[in-house]
Structure 1
Amino acid sequence: MSCMRYKGYAARVEYDERDDIFVGRVLGMRDIISFHASSVPELHEAFRGALDDYLADCAERGVTPEKPASGKVMLRIRPEVHAAASVAARAAGKSLNQWADEVFEQAAMA
C-alpha cells in the first residue's frame, strides 16, 4: 500500500491481484472519490482526473469541495498522557497546540 498526493489531497493505493489493477481512494473525506488503472502512469492520470472531476462537479453545483483536513483535531487521550504532553510543551516553551502540531508533523513524515 502506498500514498499519492495531488492538489493537497492524498489517496491510498493498493494492488488488486484478482483483477490485476491498482485501486485508489482519496483519504480523509466523507465523499467517496475512487479510481483505478492497470499501470502506474495510468494510475497518476486516473487520480488527477477523478479529483479534477470532483472539484469541477462541486463548482458546477455551487458547493464548497470537502477538504481532506480542517486543521482542527479533537483527541481523547489518557489523562496521564495529556499531563505529560502539557509538561513537554511547557518545557519546550510552546503551547500544547504548537507542540502537538510539531509532534504530529514529525510522526506523519516518518
Structure 2
Amino acid sequence: MNTLTYKGYTARIDFDDRDNSLVGRLLGIQDIIGFHAESVADLHTAFEEAVDDYLEACEKIGKSPEKPVSGKLLLRVPPELHAAALIKAQAVGKSLNQLAIEALSREVRMG
C-alpha cells in the first residue's frame, strides 16, 4: 500500500487513470479528507495542505480534530479464541495484552 504520513495522519495514495492523477484520502478517521495532484512532489504538498486545512477548519468551528488512533483497541472475538489466547499468554508468562501486541506487530511487520 502506498501511504504518506504527516502530523500523525496517514493517507492512502491511489492512481486515478480516468484523470491521470494521484489521489489520497486520510485513513483512520471518520471525517473524509481527500486531495489529489498530478505529480509526486505536488502530492506531498497537497497532502500536507489537506491536513493543515483540516486542523485549521476544526479550530475555527471549535471541533476537536479526530485523531487517527488512541492506542486503545477493543476487539470482539469468539469466546473460544479469547480463552485460547489467555491460556497461551499465561503459559508463556505474558499478559494477554502483550501477546496481542506481539501478534498484531507480526501481522503488520512492525517488529
Shorter chain as denominator, the TM-score bin is 0.7 to 0.9
Structure 1, 77-86 or 25-34: larger mean CA deviation: 77-86
Amino acid at match of 2:23: V
Please show how residues 5-24 of structure 1 align to structure 2 within 5 Å: 5-24=5-24
In structure 2, the residue matched to 1:90 is: 90
Q: Report sequence identity in percent.
A: 54
What's the CA shift for 1:87?
A: 2.0
SS at 1:41 equivalent:
helix
Q: How many residues align?
A: 110
TM-score (norm 1): 0.88
Q: Which runs of 5+ in 1 are unaligned?
A: none
In structure 2, do the counterparts of structure 1 residues 106 and 6 end up closer, same or farther at CA, with 3 Å as the change threshold?
farther
In structure 1, the residue matched to 2:55 is: 55
Counterparts of 2:45 and 2:88, CA distance in 1: 44
Counterparts of 1:23 and 1:104, CA distance in 2: 28
TM-score (norm 2): 0.87
